[in-house]
Amino acid sequence: MELYHGSLDVETIFSKWLNEENNSNYGAYIPFVGTIRAEDGIEALSFDIYEPILEQWFQGWVKRAEKLGAKVKMAHAIGDVPVHTSSYISAVFSPKRRVALELIDEFVEDFKANAPIWKYDVKDGKRIYAEDRSTPMSGSGLLA
**Candidate list 71, 80, 87, 100; residue touching other proteins; CB under 8 A:** 87
By the rule CB under 8 A, 133 interacts with other proteins: yes
Please give the full DSSP string across 80-124, using - where no structure is assigned: EEETTSEEEEEEEEESSHHHHHHHHHHHHHHHHHHS-EEEEEEET
To other proteins, the closest distance from the beta carbon of 53 in angstroms equals 6
* 83 scored as a contact of other proteins (CB under 8 A): no
Among 76, 92, 99, 104, binds other proteins (CB under 8 A): 76
Q: Any idea what the Cα angle at residue 83 is, between residues 82 and 85, rounded to 5°?
A: 75
Q: Which residues bind to other proteins, rule: CB under 8 A?
A: 34, 47-48, 50, 52-53, 56, 76, 87-88, 108, 111-120, 129-131, 133-144
